[in-house]
């Protein structure tokens, strides 16, 4: 757990350092990255159906892949956010596997539960880092 916090702090420091001007107006590309990040966070918080969430996260990942930030900070935030949504999607897939495939299989259930916890925790950490780079406080995501 301490290693994860140290890595999160280091990544936050890296994301906080940018080459561009901090006083420039937000471009349309940067606003689009910020919008997708906020939309994805809202989807994670609001969607209880895991299969539906997995599908919606796939759309957000596709949207972020098609964008580019106009500043170095926005581009790094986009990349970290993309990783965060991909990890969260893997965690959701592991939750689905746990509920659908592991009834009565203790070893498989334990594996899927651990995998889901790891992916969801790492995904939430990355999404918070991306938010910090864009000046957004994200907080907890579905308990992570």
Q: pLDDT by residue (tens digit) across 1-60?
A: 444 554 455 455 444 444 444 434 468 888 999 999 999 999 999 999 999 999 999 999
CA distances from 63 to 28, 29, 33, 68, 98 (A): 14, 12, 9, 10, 28
Q: What are the boundaries of each domain within the chain?
A: 29-133
* Whole-number pLDDT of residue 41: 97
* Whole-number pLDDT of residue 4: 54
Q: pLDDT by residue (tens digit) across 70-118?
A: 999 999 999 999 999 999 999 999 999 888 876 778 888 888 899 999 9
The answer to whether the CB of 85 falls within 8 A of the CB of 60 is yes
**Looking up tokens 């334990």, which residue turns up?**
110
Distance CA(27)–CA(55), nearest Å, equals: 29
- End-to-end distance of the chain based on CA atoms, in angstroms? 13
Extract the tokens encoding 66. 């098609």
If residue 35 lies in a helix (H) or strand (E), which one and from where to where?
helix 28-46
Distance CA(76)–CA(52), nearest Å, equals: 28
* Whole-number pLDDT of residue 27: 87
* Whole-number pLDDT of residue 18: 44
For the entire predicted model, the pTM comes to 0.79
Q: What is the DSSP code (8-state) at residue 103?
A: T
The answer to whether the CB of 113 falls within 8 A of the CB of 92 is no
Q: How far is CA 76 from the centre of its chain?
A: 13
* Whole-number pLDDT of residue 61: 97
Q: Could you count the other beta carbons within 10 Å of the beta carbon of residue 140? A: 9
């Amino acid at each position: 757990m301490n290693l994860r916090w140290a890595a999160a702090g280091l990544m936050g420091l890296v994301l906080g350092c940018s080459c561009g001007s901090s006083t420039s107006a937000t471009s349309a590309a940067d606003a689009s990255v910020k919008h997708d990040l906020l939309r994805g966070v809202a989807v994670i918080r609001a969607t209880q159906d895991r299969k539906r969430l997995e599908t919606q996260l796939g759309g957000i990942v596709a949207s972020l892949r098609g964008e580019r930030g106009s500043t170095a900070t926005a581009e790094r935030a986009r990349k970290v956010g993309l990783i965060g949504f991909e990890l969260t999607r893997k965690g959701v897939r592991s939750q689905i596997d746990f509920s659908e495939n592991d009834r009565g299989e203790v070893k498989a259930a334990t594996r899927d539960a651990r995998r889901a916890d790891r992916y969801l925790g790492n995904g939430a950490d990355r999404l918070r880092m991306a938010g910090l780079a864009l000046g957004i406080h994200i907080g907890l995501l579905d308990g992570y």
